[in-house]
Amino acid sequence: MVDGEEDKDNNKLFFLGKHPVKNFNKNFDLFYDQYKEMAHKKGFKGELKFVTSYDMIWVYVKIKEE
C-alpha cells in the first residue's frame, strides 16, 4: 500500500513509516506514541494501522472522510 490507497475494509490510508518487527515489538508504546503524534502533526486524527510484511511493521493512519 502507498499513500492514499485503501485497505480491505475500504479505509483510506496514509503511510507513516516502517520498522523491523523485533525492534517494534520491544518498544511498542514508544513507537505508537511517536506515530500518533506524527499523524496529528500531519493533520490526521484517525486510528493507526499496523501491517506486518517481510519481517517489517508498516505503519499507516486511517484517513477519515468528511
Q: Is residue 47 a contact partner of residue 32, using CB atoms and an 8 Å limit?
A: no
Q: Which pLDDT belongs to residue 7?
A: 66
Q: Say whether 41 sits in a helix, a strand or coil.
A: helix
Q: What sign does the CA torsion over 31, 36, 37, 41 have?
A: positive
Q: Which pLDDT belongs to residue 65?
A: 61
Per-residue pLDDT band at 8 (split at 50, 70, 90)? low
Rg (CA), the chain: 12
Residue 3 in this model has a pLDDT that exceeds 60: no
pTM, entire model: 0.79
Q: Which pLDDT belongs to residue 2?
A: 41
